[in-house]
Structure 1
């Protein structure tokens, strides 16, 4: 850290610091937000989410659609299930996946808009 990055005079405006401290989110919420961004930080998981916006799909359909192995798809779906982004239902010997809440699509759209600003 260069000397230009540090205050030369230690003068803390406690009223401002206290006000902001009360407005900050608690650590649990921040950690949950970070975990969501970790999940969305994988391109294959984002592709799966984007594919599921059009309806439920089974692993073999996702595999064909995304040109990935079924084991890779299953691995990514496990992460998405554990993060409460996708759900599944069994029908005979097939398992179909779908989005729990389409709000995740809004988050991805906002991220895309932000990324395209640069």
Structure 2
């Protein structure tokens, strides 16, 4: 049986992944790093809303940030998250 800390961590990950906007951001980042402006344009969202979602993803260590000059570029912190999402989408299609 898994310990309580691991169960909490998994639960927190699923909470972060449960939001449709965050899922869309992760699917964009699957193809490479992007800045807030690019993500906002692709999702037709305000930069402040994108930044808020990225902060939650970063706090949960799902995405990471890299500074280049004045810009910040976001990418997946761990490709296991995409594996989880791919399997989940396959599961949904199966039913």
TM-score range, shorter chain: over 0.9
2:65 to 68, 73, 88: 88
Name the SS for the 1:63 alignment partner. Answer: helix
May I ask how many residue pairs the two structures share in their alignment? 95
Higher relative contact order (CA closer than 8 Å, sequence separation 6+): 2
Alignment of structure 1 residues 95-114 onto 2, 5 Å: 95-114=72-91
2:28 to 51, 54, 58: 51
Name the SS for the 2:12 alignment partner. Answer: helix
Unaligned runs of 5+ in 2: none
Offset from partner CA, 1:59-113 (integer Å, 9 cap, x none): 0000001111101100000011001111111111111111111111000011111
Distance across 2 between alignment mates of 1:110 and 1:80? 20
Shift, 1:25, TM fit: 1.1
Decide which structure has the larger Cα Rg and report it.
1
Shift, 1:117, TM fit: 2.4
Q: CA RMSD in A?
A: 0.8
2:51 to 74, 78, 86: 74
2:40 to 56, 63, 70: 63
